[in-house]
């Protein structure tokens, strides 16, 4: 607006005529104000200014967009018009005493800069709803992701593997600080209910503008899933118009095409993305061979984020996404059959044809705003539908396992989330909110089995079917309140309370205190510490209401008849850490944690379908220490994470029917390592920019996950290094293009993630072999 006023003033200096031809107050100015489509702009402010920029008179437009100003001396004036949602406009007008002057001003919708300013204000307000005091935070920017060897084609779980304390597992699983799953995903501050676990990733890395992983003693705002908060801030169209098209492919007949587009039109902005890909390594290979047998996958996803600025302090947004994946279950050749079907006992295990399909869809609408000072808020309604269908080989599964089960699991979730921030004064920032979620789970299983005697010997080679169907509706409720208190300029204390209640297969609740602090010892040294009481319900979408007695006397009979209900985990969590800056280029961090649990939650893959089942250890303890180092100077960046962790449990006290009696008895009297316990985990990487070329690499080292009877053994140490080179082009005819080459497991160190043994481990899996991929991204 100031620039337009200066232009008008300059024009008046050059073109103005004398103001003194007629008597003062004898001239009249009329006019209209419209938008680019010709529609009238109502209640626009009209300011009449003289050559010095002084305001002579003001008016506003009526319902037809007209205005009228009288009582000024004849002369030349600047007419400056402003209206909410529009860029300011101006025009010159010369008035005379003998006839009214008329002008017409057209206002453009708020330009990109206006949208950016308002959107940035609201983004900062939304981010202010998410405190981090006392917890450990690891951040990834969009630039960090683009610098990875695979760039935005890096699966989300592999991005998170570059954070400290994150352990890799088969089927795309992650374990943060010695816990099984227990991750909460948030998009733009909105909790996205977790899908039924499977093989594919339900969120595409491409949508990320910034990713924060919060761990440790979390503030009261965070509940239910607390091993890690995956806080995603998506790309948007607030910064202007553009997009990209990407083609990526290589080994294992991999081909993936992706695209995204973003932009804004006045107060409306949008971001849309999608990808579709196929390859022949959808699930980890169960053998050490280079190419898996029967492992084709088709995967596709789409995401959208739309926002509309109702006014500079309020916006409504809609986000939605869907992921659809189909997998062949890879085979191991040379396995012997264990049963006879209709007189036949011969089957080539390499020809098994098991498949699994997965669908996850979600959407949320949010009203978010600020009063520009003390109050920020976000009110969101969300929904999610997820389903998984396992299709057995109807002949082969009976011959090998004695069971061929067609399993369909679905879950729908709907809920509301409210978060508010009130800045009471310079010292106290109050936050409060609530959360409600209803879930409905459906389990439809059609199980073909053989009859057996008391010793488990097959009585008949003719199978029969047992339907095993159930459904359940469950509810989650929570409230929280907390105060972020700046005790001094160097010490910030965040304390609060959280109340959680679940009404699912069991009913339970808990009031949980939280406290965390951040203390700046020196300008380069920061200490944080925290305590959190946690309440973690079992994943409702995985808890089945199956009646195990249905299968007594069959090849699907459980090893144990005991089936106590899965309970929520309750725990005390302590965290202490320090961050040290060394010069301007190096940041070092050290963090230690300890967690003591009752009814510790874990998950295992016990059935024929590759879907996980939760269970409890009556007692649990997890502790560890993490070291991080980051270097960034000019065109060089590097990072290193090193973590030591121990996770143990004792006495399984729910879902006991999944375990052999000998293993149950051993765990009842011994502390055992959890199957996902990995003593030492390291991740590292670096990038170097040389003119228009970026050289990059990253790697993982692990001491091996647990294996053997009751997890008393572990797998060997493994390592994997990935290399990448990215060439950046920006030519007049070509435009902005990135071309990349990626080598996975560059030293081809073949290693096992799982060997098929251990608590709740159903099959062996190997890490990836040496593979080469290439990609091209065209920006527009």
Read off the CATH number of the domain in which 705 is found. Answer: 2.40.170.20
Q: Give the pLDDT band of residue 25 (cuts 50, 70, 90).
A: low
Residue of 171 and 627 predicted with greater confidence: 627
pLDDT of residue 43 exceeding 90, the answer is: no
Confirm whether 594 is domain-assigned.
yes
- Residue ending a domain, choose from 91, 109, 127: 109
According to DSSP, residue 661 is labeled: H
Confirm whether 83 is domain-assigned.
yes
The DSSP result for 166-182, as a single string, is: EEE-GGG-EEETT-SS-
* Same domain as 102, residue 128: no
* Same domain as 388, residue 287: yes
Please count the structural domains in the chain.
2
Strand ranges (E), 329-402: 355-370, 375-391
* Same domain as 241, residue 104: no
* Same domain as 580, residue 489: yes
* Same domain as 632, residue 541: yes
* Same domain as 103, residue 125: no
Query: Residue ranges of the alpha helices (H) in 322-471?
Result: 396-401
* Same domain as 595, residue 525: yes
Q: What's the confidence (pLDDT) of residue 18?
A: 36
**Bridge-partner residues for 712, per DSSP?**
none
- Residue ending a domain, choose from 58, 77, 109: 109
* Same domain as 72, residue 220: no
Q: What's the confidence (pLDDT) of residue 379?
A: 97
From 86-100, 221-235, 419-433, 717-731, the region with the lowest mean pLDDT? 86-100
pLDDT of residue 115 exceeding 70, the answer is: no
* Same domain as 59, residue 163: no
In angstroms, the CA 675 to CA 180 distance is 9
* Same domain as 467, residue 321: yes
Confirm whether 179 is domain-assigned.
yes
- Range of the structural domain that residue 76 is part of: 2-109
Please write the tens of the pLDDT for every residue from 545-587.
777 889 999 999 988 878 899 999 999 999 999 999 999 999 9
Q: Rounded mean pLDDT of the chain?
A: 90
Q: What's the confidence (pLDDT) of residue 19?
A: 37
Q: Give the pLDDT band of residue 76 (cuts 50, 70, 90).
A: confident
**Bridge-partner residues for 59, per DSSP?**
46
- Residue ending a domain, choose from 75, 91, 109: 109
Confirm whether 114 is domain-assigned.
no
From 17-21, 416-420, 601-605, the region with the lowest mean pLDDT? 17-21
Strand ranges (E), 504-612: 507-522, 525-536, 569-582, 586-604
Query: Which distant-in-sequence residues (6+ apart) come within 8 Å of 694 by Cβ?
Result: 147, 687, 688, 725, 726, 728
From 105-114, 363-372, 770-779, the region with the lowest mean pLDDT? 105-114
Q: What's the confidence (pLDDT) of residue 2?
A: 42
Q: Give the pLDDT band of residue 112 (cuts 50, 70, 90).
A: very low
* Same domain as 321, residue 175: yes
CATH code for the domain of 30:
2.60.40.10
Q: Give the pLDDT band of residue 10 (cuts 50, 70, 90).
A: very low
pLDDT of residue 1 exceeding 50, the answer is: no
If you average pLDDT over residues 421-446, what whole number do you get?
Answer: 95
Confirm whether 448 is domain-assigned.
yes
Residue 323 sits at φ, ψ, to 5 deg, of -135, 130
Please write the tens of the pLDDT for every residue from 501-535.
999 999 999 999 999 999 999 999 999 999 999 99
* Same domain as 658, residue 743: yes
């Amino acid at each position: 607006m100031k620039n337009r006023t200066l232009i008008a003033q300059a024009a008046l200096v050059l073109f103005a005529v004398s103001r003194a031809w007629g008597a003062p107050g004898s001239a009249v100015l009329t006019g209209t104000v419209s938008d680019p489509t010709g529609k009238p702009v109502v209640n626009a402010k009209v300011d009449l200014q003289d050559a010095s920029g002084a305001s002579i008179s003001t008016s506003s437009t009526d319902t037809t967009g007209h205005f009228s100003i009288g009582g000024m001396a004849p002369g030349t004036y600047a007419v400056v018009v402003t209206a909410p949602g529009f860029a300011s406009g101006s025009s010159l007008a010369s008035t005379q005493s003998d006839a009214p002057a008329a002008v017409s001003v057209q206002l453009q919708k708020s330009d990109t800069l206006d949208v950016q300013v308002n959107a940035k204000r609201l983004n900062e307000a939304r981010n202010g709803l998410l405190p981090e005091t006392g917890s450990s935070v690891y951040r990834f920017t969009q630039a960090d992701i683009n610098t990875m060897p695979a760039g935005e084609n890096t699966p989300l779980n592999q991005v998170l593997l570059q954070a400290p304390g994150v352990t890799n597992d088969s089927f795309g699983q992650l374990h943060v600080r010695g816990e099984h799953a227990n991750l909460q995903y948030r998009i733009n501050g909105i909790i996205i209910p977790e899908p039924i676990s499977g093989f594919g990733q339900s969120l595409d890395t491409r949508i990320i503008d910034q990713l924060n992983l919060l761990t440790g003693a979390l503030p009261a705002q965070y509940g239910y899933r607390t091993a890690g908060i995956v806080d995603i801030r998506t790309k948007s169209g607030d910064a202007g118009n553009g997009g990209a098209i990407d083609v990526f492919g290589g080994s294992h007949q991999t081909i993936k095409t992706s695209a995204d587009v973003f932009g804004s039109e006045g107060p409306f902005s949008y971001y849309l993305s999608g990808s579709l890909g196929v390859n022949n390594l959808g699930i980890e290979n169960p053998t050490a061979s280079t190419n898996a047998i029967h492992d084709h996958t088709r995967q596709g996803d789409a995401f959208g984020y739309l926002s509309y600025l109702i006014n500079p302090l309020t916006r409504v947004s809609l986000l939605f996404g869907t992921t659809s994946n189909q997998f062949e279950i890879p085979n191991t050749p040379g396995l012997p059959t264990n049963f006879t079907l209709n007189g036949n006992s011969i089957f080539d295990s390499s020809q098994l044809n098991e498949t699994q399909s997965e669908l996850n869809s979600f959407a949320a609408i949010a009203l978010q705003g600020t009063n520009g000072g003390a109050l920020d808020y976000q009110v969101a309604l969300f929904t999610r539908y997820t389903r998984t269908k396992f299709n057995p080989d109807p002949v082969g599964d009976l011959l090998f396992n004695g069971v061929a089960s067609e399993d369909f699991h679905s879950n729908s979730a709907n809920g509301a989330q409210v978060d508010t921030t009130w800045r009471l004064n310079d010292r106290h920032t109050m936050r409060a909110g609530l959360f409600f979620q209803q879930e409905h789970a459906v389990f439809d299983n059609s199980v073909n089995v053989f009859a057996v005697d008391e010793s488990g010997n097959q009585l008949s080679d003719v199978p029969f079917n047992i339907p095993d169907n159930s459904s359940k509706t469950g509810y989650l409720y929570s409230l929280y309140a907390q105060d972020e208190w700046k005790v001094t300029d160097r010490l910030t204390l965040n304390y609060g309370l959280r109340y959680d209640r679940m009404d699912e297969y069991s009913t339970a609740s808990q009031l949980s205190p939280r406290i965390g602090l951040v203390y700046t010892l020196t300008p380069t040294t920061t200490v944080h510490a925290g305590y959190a009481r946690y309440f973690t319900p079992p994943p409702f979408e995985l808890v089945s209401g199956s009646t195990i007695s249905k299968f007594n006397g069959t090849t699907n009979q459980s090893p144990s008849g005991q089936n106590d209900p899965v309970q929520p985990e309750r725990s005390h969590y302590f965290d202490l850490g320090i961050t040290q800056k060394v010069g301007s280029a190096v940041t070092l961090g050290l963090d230690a944690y300890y967690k003591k649990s009752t009814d510790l939650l874990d998950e295992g893959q016990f059935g024929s379908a590759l879907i996980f089942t939760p269970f409890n250890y009556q007692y649990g303890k997890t502790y560890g220490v993490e070291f991080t180092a980051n270097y960034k100077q000019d065109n060089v960046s590097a990072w290193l994470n090193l973590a030591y962790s121990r996770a143990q449990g004792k006495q399984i006290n729910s879902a006991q029917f999944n375990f052999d009696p000998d293993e149950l008895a051993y765990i009842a009297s011994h502390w055992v390592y959890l199957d996902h316990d990995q003593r030492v985990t390291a991740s590292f990487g670096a990038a170097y920019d040389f003119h228009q070329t970026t050289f990059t690499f990253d790697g993982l080292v692990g001491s091996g996950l647990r294996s053997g009877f009751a997890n008393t053994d572990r797998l060997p140490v493994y390592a994997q290094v990935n290399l990448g080179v990215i060439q950046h082009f920006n030519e007049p005819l070509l435009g902005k293009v990135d071309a990349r080459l990626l080598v996975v497991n560059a030293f081809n160190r073949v290693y096992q993630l799982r060997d098929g043994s251990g608590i709740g481990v159903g099959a062996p899996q190997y890490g990836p072999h040496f593979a080469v991929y290439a990609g091209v991204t065209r920006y527009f």
